[in-house]
Each structure stands twice: as structure tokens, then as C-alpha cells.
Amino acid sequence: MCIAQQNRDPFARSVRPPDIGIGLSYNHNTLVKYKVPGGSISANVTYYNFDKHFIIGLDYTTNINKRNKTIYVPRIGEPNTRRGIFSKIIYNQSIYTFRGGWIFSDNFFLVMGMGLESLKQFHQYRNRPNQIEESVQHLVTGKVINLFYHKVGVMFKVKKIIFEAFYSQRSLGFGVNYFLNE
């Protein structure tokens, strides 16, 4: 039985740090209305209260392949047809999430997260075959879309390592957390 917060020795002179885990996870982005190509990486900090059987924490998620490196800047007087053939609208994402959950046993946890997702819009263009510039270019539109974000997942603890799997409308994810106390 995990009784991490209970003080077994009432005369102990040291203070025990709280039960905290830090982790990284990979999210494979699904193709929904707002397309974020590739995958995303997420970092989290989670507090585990084994006495009251709850979890709270914070997540930050961003896409791995940021699309702001190949911005096309047209020259003065250059027609838009020089840019290339419009192919699709894509987005860079940043997600700030508050996570909470329940501890069902010492090793199994249910986690839910809610937060705000910020999507920055880009237009993607393919060059014509006779152009010598990069094959794909991105034009910044300046449009930012803010959406409500939620996810549901499970965590399983093995000694000091916590494995997590979760689902959201945006992605499927798997992660590893390191439990700082034991």
C-alpha cells in the first residue's frame, strides 16, 4: 500500500517532499478539421495525493515540426502566381492543459485534461516544376484560432516510472513520467 503522505514517525525532523512526477509524451496528430501535420511533444508536471486519491497537474504541448521556418516573402510587384500552387492550410499548435484524475490503486490512475489550444494558420504552396526555390513554401496568414481542448487517459506505475496513454480529438498519445519520490 502506498502511504506516501502519511507520516509514520511523528517525531521525524525532516520534511518529506510532495509526490511529484515529471514526464514527456509523444502525440500522433490525427487528421481532423484543423490539420497539424506530424506529431507533437508534450511536457507535464503532476502531483499525486495517495491519501485522498487524486491527481492534479499541468501540460504544455507543441508540434514538433514548426512551420515558421520557410516563410515566403513576395518581392515588390511580383504576382501571386509566382508563389506556386496552393495545396492546403496547416497549423502550428500550442496547448496549455490542466490535468486532474483519480487514483484507483497504487499503480493505476485515470486522468482527464482540459485546456486551451491555440492554432496559428499557414497556407502551404507547392512550387511549379520549373521553379528553383524550395519545393514547399509556407505563407503566414496571421489568423489564430483558439479552441477548447480535452483529453482522457490512463496511467500505470511501475516502481518510479509511470506510463501513460491518452486520447483526444486531436491526437493519440503515449508518454513516460518519472516519479520523483518513493
Q: Mean pLDDT in each 10-residue stretch from start to end of the chain (182 residues)?
A: 50 70 90 74 93 94 68 53 65 89 93 91 71 65 86 93 91 92 72
pLDDT of residue 71: 45
* Residue 180, pLDDT score: 87
Domain membership flag for residue 98: yes
Query: What is the structure's pLDDT at 114?
Result: 95
Domain of 79, in residue numbers: 20-179
| Residue 92: strand, helix, or coil | strand
What was the pLDDT predicted at 30? 78
Q: For position 141, which CATH number holds? A: 2.40.160.20
- pLDDT of 109: 95
- Number of domains present in the structure of the chain: 1
In a domain, 26, yes or no: yes
pLDDT at 5: 47
Confidence at residue 3, expressed as pLDDT on a 0 to 100 scale: 44
Specify if 11 maps to a domain. Answer: no
Task: Judge whether 2 lies within some domain.
Answer: no
Going through the chain in order, the beta strands assigned E by DSSP cover 20-29, 39-49, 54-63, 85-103, 108-126, 136-158, 161-168, 171-179
Residue 4: the pLDDT is 45
For residue 132, being part of any structural domain is answered with yes
pLDDT at 56: 96
